[in-house]
Structure 1
Amino acid sequence: MSLPHPLSEPVVELIARRFRVIGEPMRIRILDHLRDGEATVAELTESLGTSQQNVSKHLGVLHEAGILGRRKQGTSTIYAISDATVLGLCEQVCGGLQRQFTDLAELVGGSVR
Structure 2
Amino acid sequence: MPLPHPLPEPIVELIARRFRVIGEPMRIKILDRLRDGDATVAELTESLGTSQQNVSKHLGVLHEAGILSRRKQGTHTIYAIADESVLGLCEQVCGGLQRQFSDLAALVGGSLR
TM normalised by structure 1 equals: 0.96
The residue that corresponds to 1:89 in the other structure is: 89
Q: Number of matched residues?
A: 110
The residue that corresponds to 2:64 in the other structure is: 64
Once the two structures are superposed, residues 44-88 of structure 1 have per-residue CA deviations (whole angstroms, 9 ceiling, x without a partner) of 000000000000000000000000000000000000000000000
Q: CA RMSD in A?
A: 0.8
Provide the rounded CA distance (Å) in 1 between the counterparts of 2:82 and 2:58. 15
Q: Secondary structure at the match of 1:77?
A: strand
The residue that corresponds to 1:103 in the other structure is: 103
Q: For structure 2, list consecutive stretches of 5 or more residues without a partner in the other structure.
A: none
Shift in Å at residue 2 of structure 1? 1.0
Q: For structure 1, list consecutive stretches of 5 or more residues without a partner in the other structure.
A: none
| 1:25-40 map, 5 Å | 25-40=25-40
Q: Secondary structure at the match of 1:69?
A: strand
Provide the rounded CA distance (Å) in 2 between the counterparts of 1:4 and 1:37. 35
Once the two structures are superposed, residues 88-112 of structure 1 have per-residue CA deviations (whole angstroms, 9 ceiling, x without a partner) of 00000000000000000000117xx
TM normalised by structure 2 equals: 0.96
Give the 4+ runs in structure 1 shifted more than 4 A. Answer: none
% same residue: 88
The residue that corresponds to 2:10 in the other structure is: 10
Provide the rounded CA distance (Å) in 2 between the counterparts of 1:32 and 1:50. 15
Shift in Å at residue 20 of structure 1? 0.1
